[in-house]
């Protein structure tokens, strides 16, 4: 085995960053201490929808309480889409005139400690005229009801339509299944909440905002727009970040508020989100409704999908992804990994008096996969076939790759049927069918479920510019510097907060330069130190930052060869870079990278006069061969036991067969799949933020908002297929989100398999005991009546 | 959220604690493990002027044999019971229940007396002590009283305890070698609060046959003569506990009671 195989692309290298994380030595926003730092507590709206008559500061507290009237010159957050018909919902960073969700910021209180700031907050008097709340997205888009934004004609942020004439298919399809499917609103729950420390540097005339952010350069752009100061005067630093998942891929009104406050006071200010704020004000994802019909032949081959979908987009349009990204995506990705003859999809982004929607790991795909895969299983039951059989009949086959699907997505590579076949084999379907027939000794019912999806990652300009949102990804850059002691510094504009980029990008550098990963330092998360990037989102970093690092290292390699070639008096092409050394091929003559760097920086007199002065530092850009994105894919297969007395579900076995193309670090990919699948299990069985009819969120602690923990996540068995992407540098594909996409569909299909002969079909996530027992009771009543 | 400002005292004796409590009136609040009060303070749902910390009072740590019962000091932690560091007169029921209370970090600090005084209807000791017909021992300025656990809780977060009384411990009857018990806690995941607790204890030597419909949002419902508790009687008990037949709540409480009974009967 070569050195590269052990530490480079493909190695199961232990994560470098875990040294500090596992020892509790990470440095997060909450660890920052600054002399004279003040704490901020916000007064938030206690109601979902109201007109603000007055916000009264108690006498004596005027100088430590701030409302929107105090924030002169601060502009609202605007995240518009250029799609036709999009309705704009500018968000004032502190409410002006109206509040439109529980938890909306109304006033900012500042004190030496958070507790004292909260004391002040309790003394701010709100005079609110409550208005009827828009809570249910299906009712929201009906005409005539109350409106979230009175100046709008309705509550529809955006309507999209992908139309196709399905009349022939409708007339001839032997099987037609129509389902109404819902997914609950969730609250992304990274271990670390959001947090901001802002201070103003008079020497640099610069506002520094430390924020737990996934996309620091985007936050900087947004801060500049809202605060009205140029980007050069703003530095955003994202230190260690304890999980993102999309929750931190947003310009926060809190960031704008604290930025303004730090400049106004001339003192450092801090706000750390607590779990109550997170849950009560920020349940912001996953709430979809589908009225979906699948048409198939008598033997279950999928012919067409006809769908009307609503995404609950909440009260505002979050920056930069906007209020319509998710619904707009639904229509483009609903066909999944399948071939079909016809497709029609109409979507609505519905404004409601709830927190603005954010893209959560998997973005729209978790809901889309849930809706589509439940319908495919219903088709299989109608056809009397095993669910995997009907899928095999319509998955895009490997010989058709690359494949342009019915919504013009370019599937770059892969063997979808093999992922399905292998998942069925690894799960051992016949074993479970046998056990199911035998019955469980404890009376529980066993079921088996599947879900398969493909996931576009690292998609770029051509995909995004059409949406016309404030952010369009382009090229990705890396700055690489071989420092005088031979340590390689890499600077990227994306951020690593769980992805392990400090390790995987070092592996990429090792692959090209032979530098030991221990001698590679990744610098990220600071707009002052890194090249511009849209940041970490959309499963893009391994493809885009990885490509940029590889490209920059290739350039460094060229220069190392030139310098070392001069020093060893051979042609650069005759040199081999490995194990941190530059060796003359076929000889044992070599020098270390450190020696080459030493000469360049500290003993240039040894170099000939005509040496290229570009040096051992470079910024290089990368763009994929085409920017339509890599398509990773996976099949999830599971077996569950359903307790029909208590409505509980135990996952007995869980298998993931996935294809992330060339895996830079298979162990880290496994970790991504485990983590994503755990979150998907949360979506399937536990996580839900219910709202009452007045728009009050009903879960305010983690005792009410239930997250899966160690006891809820089974052993997940992962198998990899490695079909290199023809589009990326090493053939790698974006894989970060996939784990979170399929579990709700796979688990629900397994539950429905277990309960099919009782006439129960679950169509809503999460499957709580209450929902399950209610469905069982309803089915019993139907059987009794029948 | 952060707790509002309050004064803090750590008395060195039980008598001193009782005096502070009596003097402090409505503004004084006891804190032991703080596993319920901590979050309540941070949410500002309680805003006491004075916190009296009784966590380390030696008088509340005593465990003694009372002949036909064992007295467990109020300051005994859930973890001490779980680990068998204190005597378990129920032949394993106490430690089995302790093991399912919240998470280990909570059990390390949370106390028996604190949990009873807080009287969350879903809390384990509130329900189990009612099932076991234990006696709760309380002391105030005018001396000590013993209260039947089944009547101690009056409703959600409400007990029979006077404002100036402190729970000093619980007296739990010793079960005989012929005793059989069963307990089933239904929650969404281990460590979460119960949605339903079923309990059943049968000790022929004590002439005791009791069943519990617990975690009902109110004081626990106990069937004091549960000798012949068949399924119709279980449905009846759950209905009398406040859950009409056909509801989700009826179903889960029935299932919990059925499973607890089956466990006791070795089914």
Query: What residues of chain B lie within 8 A of the CB of A708, using their CB?
Result: 189
- d(Cα A572, Cα A565) in Å, to the nearest integer? 5
Q: Are B44 and A686 within 8 A, CB to CB?
A: no
Q: Is A535 exposed, middle or buried (0-12, 13-18, 19+ CB in 10 A)?
A: buried
Q: What is the DSSP letter of A470?
A: S
pLDDT score for A2? 47
Instruction: Count Cβ atoms below 10 Å from residue A24 Cβ, excluding itself.
Output: 6
Instruction: Count Cβ atoms below 10 Å from residue B94 Cβ, excluding itself.
Output: 29
Long-range contacts of A135-138 (CB under 8 A, 24+ apart): A135/A48, A135/A352, A135/A353, A135/A354, A135/A691, A135/A692, A135/A693, A135/A694, A135/A695, A136/A352, A137/A287, A137/A289, A137/A310, A137/A311, A137/A312, A137/A348, A137/A350, A137/A352, A138/A289, A138/A310, A138/A350
| pLDDT band for position A765 (cuts 50, 70, 90) | very high
The answer to whether A778 faces chain B, any CB pair under 8 Å, is no
Which residue is associated with the tokens 């402090």?
B24
Asked whether A725 and A412 are in contact (CB, 8 A), the reply is yes
Q: Are A118 and B186 within 8 A, CB to CB?
A: no
- Closest CB to B188 among A114, A686, A774: A686
Report chain A's C-alpha Rg in angstroms. 28
Q: Tell which phi-psi region holds residue A187, choosing left (phi > 0), alpha (psi between -120 and 50) or beta.
A: beta
Residue A467 has pLDDT above 90, yes or no: no
- Interval A373-412: pLDDT, tens: 999 999 999 999 999 999 999 999 999 999 999 999 999 9
| pLDDT band for position A55 (cuts 50, 70, 90) | very high
- Interval B102-154: pLDDT, tens: 999 999 999 999 999 999 999 999 999 999 999 999 999 999 999 999 999 99
SS3 A251: coil
- d(Cα A604, Cα A495) in Å, to the nearest integer? 35
- d(Cα A182, Cα A417) in Å, to the nearest integer? 28
Q: Are A115 and B44 within 8 A, CB to CB?
A: no
Expressed in percent and rounded to 5, the helix, strand and coil fractions of chain B are: 35, 25, 40
Query: What residues of chain B lie within 8 A of the CB of A769, using their CB?
Result: 188, 195, 248, 252
The answer to whether A777 faces chain B, any CB pair under 8 Å, is yes
pLDDT score for A786? 65
Tell me the average pLDDT across A106-125: 98
pLDDT above 90: percentage of residues in chain A: 97
Tell me the average pLDDT across A571-589: 95
The answer to whether B5 faces chain A, any CB pair under 8 Å, is yes
Domain B7-52: which topology?
Answer: 3.30.43
Neighbour order of strands in the sheet with A175-183? A156-162, A342-351, A302-314, A288-296, A175-183, A764-765
- Prior bond to A766 cis, omega within 30? yes
- Interval B167-214: pLDDT, tens: 999 999 999 999 999 999 999 999 999 999 999 999 999 999 999 999
Domain ranges of chain B: 7-52, 59-173, 180-264
Contacts of B36 (CB under 8 A, 6+ apart): B110, B114, B115, B118, B120
SS3 A717: strand
Tell me the average pLDDT across A159-167: 95
Q: Are A701 and B4 within 8 A, CB to CB?
A: no
* Beta bridge mates, A526: A237
Query: What residues of chain A lie within 8 A of the CB of B4, using their CB?
Result: 115, 118-119
Domain B59-173: which topology?
Answer: 3.30.465
Residue A300 has pLDDT above 90, yes or no: yes
Asked whether A500 and A671 are in contact (CB, 8 A), the reply is yes
Size of interface A-B (CB pairs under 8 A): 52
Q: How do strand B143-148 and strand B135-140 relate by DSSP bridges? A: antiparallel
pLDDT score for A610? 87
Q: How do strand B50-53 and strand B221-223 relate by DSSP bridges? A: unpaired
* Chain A residue with the nearest C-alpha to that of B254: A645
Q: Are A774 and B193 within 8 A, CB to CB?
A: no
Domains observed in chain A: 3-26+475-622 (3.30.365.10), 32-131+194-272 (3.90.1170.50), 288-461+626-785 (3.30.365.10)
Tell me the average pLDDT across A755-781: 97
Query: What residues of chain B lie within 8 A of the CB of A768, using their CB?
Result: 188
Q: Are B39 and A711 within 8 A, CB to CB?
A: no
Tell me the average pLDDT across A308-315: 98
SS3 B9: strand
What mean pLDDT is reported for chain A? 96
DSSP-derived secondary structure for A11-59: --PPPTTHHHHTTT---BGGG---TT-EEEEEEE-SSSSEEEEEEEPPT
- d(Cα A210, Cα A526) in Å, to the nearest integer? 9
Residue B34 has pLDDT above 90, yes or no: yes
pLDDT score for A5? 53
Tell me the average pLDDT across A193-208: 97
pLDDT score for A785? 77
- d(Cα A691, Cα A704) in Å, to the nearest integer? 12
- Prior bond to A402 cis, omega within 30? yes
The residue among A266, A317, A303 whose CA lies nearest residue A468 is: A317
Tell me the average pLDDT across A311-315: 98
- Closest CB to A703 among B1, B44, B192: B192
pLDDT score for A612? 87
Question: How far away is chain A from the Cα of B252, in angstroms, using its nearest Cα?
Answer: 6
Residue A4 has pLDDT above 70, yes or no: no
Neighbour order of strands in the sheet with A65-66? A65-66, A105-111, A38-44, A269-272, A195-201, A206-211, A234-237
Q: Are A709 and B252 within 8 A, CB to CB?
A: no
- Interval B140-152: pLDDT, tens: 999 999 999 999 9
Contacts of A330 (CB under 8 A, 6+ apart): A288, A309, A311, A345, A347, A364, A367, A368
Residue A299 has pLDDT above 50, yes or no: yes
Q: Which of residues 634-693 of A touch B (CB under 8 A)?
A: 645-647, 686
* Phi, then psi, of A198 in degrees rounded to 5: -120, 140
Q: Are B189 and A115 within 8 A, CB to CB?
A: no
Q: Are B251 and A773 within 8 A, CB to CB?
A: yes
pLDDT score for A618? 98
- Interval A5-21: pLDDT, tens: 589 999 999 999 999 99
Asked whether A739 and A673 are in contact (CB, 8 A), the reply is yes
- d(Cα B226, Cα B221) in Å, to the nearest integer? 12
- Closest CB to B1 among A118, A646, A706: A118
| pLDDT band for position A611 (cuts 50, 70, 90) | confident
- Interval B204-247: pLDDT, tens: 999 999 999 999 999 999 999 999 999 999 999 999 999 999 99
pLDDT score for A3? 44
Q: Are B189 and A709 within 8 A, CB to CB?
A: yes
The residue among B185, B178, B145 whose CA lies nearest residue B164 is: B145
Instruction: Count Cβ atoms below 10 Å from residue A347 Cβ, excluding itself.
Output: 27
- Interval B3-23: pLDDT, tens: 999 999 999 999 999 999 999
Query: What residues of chain A lie within 8 A of the CB of B255, using their CB?
Result: 645-646
* Beta bridge mates, A691: A697
Domain B180-264 = CATH 3.90.1170.50: no
User: For chain A, what is the total number of helices (H) and then of strands (E)?
Assistant: 20, 29
Tell me the average pLDDT across B68-76: 98
The residue among A593, A516, A503 whose CA lies nearest residue A546 is: A503
Residue A646 has pLDDT above 50, yes or no: yes
């Amino acid at each position: 085995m070569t050195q590269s195989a052990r530490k480079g692309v493909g190695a199961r290298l232990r994560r470098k960053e875990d040294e500090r994380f596992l020892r509790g030595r990470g440095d997060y926003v909450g660890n920052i201490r600054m002399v004279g730092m003040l704490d901020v507590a916000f007064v938030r709206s206690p109601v979902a929808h109201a007109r603000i008559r007055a916000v009264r500061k108690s006498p004596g507290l005027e100088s430590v309480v701030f409302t929107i009237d105090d924030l002169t010159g601060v502009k609202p957050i605007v995240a518009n889409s250029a799609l036709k018909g999009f309705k704009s919902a500018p968000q004032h960073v502190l409410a002006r005139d109206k509040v439109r969700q529980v938890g909306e910021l109304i006033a900012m209180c500042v004190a030496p400690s958070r507790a004292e700031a909260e004391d002040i907050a309790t003394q701010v008097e709100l005079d609110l005229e409550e208005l009827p709340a828009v809570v249910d997205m299906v009712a929201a888009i009906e005409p005539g009801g109350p409106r979230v934004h009175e100046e709008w004609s309705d509550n529809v942020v955006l309507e999209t339509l992908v139309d196709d004439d399905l009349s022939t298919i409708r007339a001839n399809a032997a099987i037609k299944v129509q389902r109404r499917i819902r997914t609950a609103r969730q609250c992304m729950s990274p271990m670390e909440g959001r947090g901001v420390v802002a201070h103003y540097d008079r020497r640099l005339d610069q506002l520094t905002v430390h924020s737990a952010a996934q996309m620091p350069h985007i936050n900087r752009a947004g801060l500049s727009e809202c605060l009205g100061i140029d980007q050069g005067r703003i530095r955003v630093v994202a230190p260690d970040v304890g999980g993102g998942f999309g929750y931190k891929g947003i310009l926060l009104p809190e960031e704008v508020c604290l930025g303004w406050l730090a400049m106004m006071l001339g003192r450092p200010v801090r706000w750390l989100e607590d779990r109550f704020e997170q849950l009560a004000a920020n349940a912001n994802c996953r709430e979809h409704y589908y009225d979906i019909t699948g048409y198939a032949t008598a033997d279950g081959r999928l012919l067409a999908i006809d769908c009307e979908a609503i995404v609950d987009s909440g009260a505002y349009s979050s920056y930069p992804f906007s209020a319509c990204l998710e619904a707009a995506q639904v229509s483009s990705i609903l066909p999944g990994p399948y071939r079909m003859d016809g497709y029609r999809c109409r979507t609505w982004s519905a404004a409601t008096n709830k927190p603005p929607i954010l893209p959560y790991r998997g973005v729209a795909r978790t809901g889309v996969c849930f809706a589509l895969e439940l319908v495919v299983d219903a088709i299989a039951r109608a056809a009397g076939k095993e669910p995997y059989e009907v899928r095999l009949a319509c998955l895009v086959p490997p010989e058709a790759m690359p494949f342009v699907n019915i919504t013009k997505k370019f599937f770059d590579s892969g063997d979808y049927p093999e992922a399905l076949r292998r998942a069925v084999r690894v799960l051992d379907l016949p074993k479970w069918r046998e056990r199911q027939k035998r019955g469980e000794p404890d009376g529980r019912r066993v079921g088996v479920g599947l879900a398969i999806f493909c996931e576009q990652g690292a998609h770029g300009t051509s995909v995004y510019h059409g949406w016309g949102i404030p952010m369009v990804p382009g090229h990705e850059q890396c700055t690489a510097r071989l420092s005088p002691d031979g340590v390689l510094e890499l600077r990227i504009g994306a951020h690593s907060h769980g992805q392990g980029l400090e390790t995987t990008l070092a592996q990429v550098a090792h692959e090209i330069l032979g530098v030991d990963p221990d001698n590679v330092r990744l610098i990220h998360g600071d707009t002052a130190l890194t090249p511009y990037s849209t940041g970490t989102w959309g499963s893009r970093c391994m493809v885009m930052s990885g490509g940029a690092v590889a490209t920059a290292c290739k350039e460094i390699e060229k220069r190392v060869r030139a310098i070392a070639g001069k020093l060893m008096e051979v042609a650069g092409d005759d040199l081999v870079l490995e194990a941190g050394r530059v060796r003359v091929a076929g000889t044992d003559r070599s020098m270390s990278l450190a020696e080459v760097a030493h000469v360049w920086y500290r003993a240039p007199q040894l170099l000939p006069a005509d040496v290229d002065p570009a040096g051992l530092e470079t910024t290089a850009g990368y763009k994929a061969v085409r920017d339509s994105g890599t398509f990773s894919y996976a099949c999830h297969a599971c077996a569950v036991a359903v307790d029909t007395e208590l409505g509980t579900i135990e996952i007995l076995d869980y298998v993931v067969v996935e294809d992330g193309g060339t895996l830079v670090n298979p162990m880290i990919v496994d970790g991504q799949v485990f983590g994503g699948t755990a979150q998907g299990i949360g979506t399937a069985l536990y996580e839900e933020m219910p709202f009452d009819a007045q728009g009050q969120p009903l879960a305010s602690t983690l005792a009410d908002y239930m997250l899966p923990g160690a006891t809820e996540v089974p052993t997940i068995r992962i198998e990899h297929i490695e079909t290199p992407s023809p589009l990326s540098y090493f053939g790698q594909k974006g894989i970060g989100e996939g784990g979170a996409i399929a579990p709700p569909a796979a688990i629900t299909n397994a539950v429905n398999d277990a309960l099919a002969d009782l006439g129960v079909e679950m169509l809503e996530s999460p499957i709580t005991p209450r929902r399950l027992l209610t469905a069982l009771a309803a089915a019993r009543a139907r059987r009794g009546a029948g | 959220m952060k707790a509002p400002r309050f004064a803090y005292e750590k008395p060195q004796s039980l008598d001193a604690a009782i005096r502070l409590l009596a003097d402090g009136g409505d503004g004084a609040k006891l804190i032991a493990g703080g596993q319920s009060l901590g979050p309540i303070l941070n949410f500002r749902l309680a805003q006491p002027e004075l916190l009296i910390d009784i966590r380390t009072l030696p008088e509340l740590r005593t465990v003694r044999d009372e002949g036909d019962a064992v007295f467990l000091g109020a300051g005994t932690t859930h973890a001490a019971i779980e680990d068998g560091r204190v005597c378990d007169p129920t032949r394993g029921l106490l430690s089995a229940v302790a093991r399912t209370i919240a998470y280990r970090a909570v059990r390390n600090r949370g106390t028996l007396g604190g949990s009873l005084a807080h009287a969350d209807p879903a809390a384990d000791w509130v329900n189990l002590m009612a099932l076991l017909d234990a006696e709760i021992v309380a002391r105030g300025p005018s001396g000590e009283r013993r209260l039947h656990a089944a009547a101690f809780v009056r409703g959600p977060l409400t007990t029979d305890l006077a404002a100036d009384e402190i729970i000093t411990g619980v007296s739990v009857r010793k079960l005989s070698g012929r005793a059989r018990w069963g307990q089933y806690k239904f929650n969404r995941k281990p460590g979460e609060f119960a949605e339903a607790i079923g309990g059943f204890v049968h000790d022929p030597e004590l002439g005791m046959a009791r069943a519990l419909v617990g975690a009902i949002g109110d004081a626990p419902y106990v069937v004091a003569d549960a000798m012949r508790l068949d399924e119709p009687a279980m449905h009846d008990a759950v209905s009398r506990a406040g859950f009409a037949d056909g509801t989700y709540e009826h179903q889960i409480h029935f299932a919990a009671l059925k499973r607890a009974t089956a466990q006791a009967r070795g089914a």
